């Protein structure tokens, strides 16, 4: 039973489109995250969210927005996709923020043509 699951695993789309990546965790964690693995394979934090507070990495374009229908889900919406958005996006969750270990999803590879 997967603890943190992301869908889709692969997404190929055209520039200018709007797309979403879904993330669900069944660990009962109260904090979820989105990370982007950049071209140099670095993991860059995009958002940190719990039921009280959204923290946004200020370098993330406002075309990216997290949406959390409930504590177990944090979806990533991307508007007006650009070529540079092509990357692997990882969802993660933790108990609390900072001191609890992160549990990662398997990643979603987005390719923008």
Which residues lie near another protein (CB under 8 A)? Answer: 33, 35, 40-45, 48, 55, 57, 59, 90, 97-107
CB of 86 to another protein, least distance (A): 18
- Tokens representing 51 are 């039921």
Please say which residue, 105 or 112, places its beta carbon nearer to another protein. Answer: 105
Please say which residue, 19 or 49, places its beta carbon nearer to another protein. Answer: 49
Nearest to 76 by CA among 29, 16, 33: 33
DSSP H or E run through 4: strand 4-7
Distances (CA, A) of 113 to 11, 64, 85: 11, 18, 10
Please say which residue, 33 or 112, places its beta carbon nearer to another protein. Answer: 33
């Amino acid at each position: 039973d997967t603890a943190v699951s992301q869908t889709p695993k692969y997404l190929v789309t055209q520039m200018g489109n709007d797309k979403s990546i879904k993330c669900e965790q069944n660990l009962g964690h109260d904090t979820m995250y989105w990370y982007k693995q950049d071209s140099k394979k670095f993991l860059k934090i995009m958002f940190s969210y719990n039921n009280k507070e959204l923290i946004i990495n200020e370098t993330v374009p406002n075309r990216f927005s997290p949406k959390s229908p409930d504590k177990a889900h944090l979806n990533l919406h991307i508007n007006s996709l650009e070529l540079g958005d092509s990357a692997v996006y990882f969802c993660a969750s933790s108990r609390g923020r900072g001191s609890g270990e992160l549990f990662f999803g398997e990643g979603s590879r987005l390719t923008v043509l």
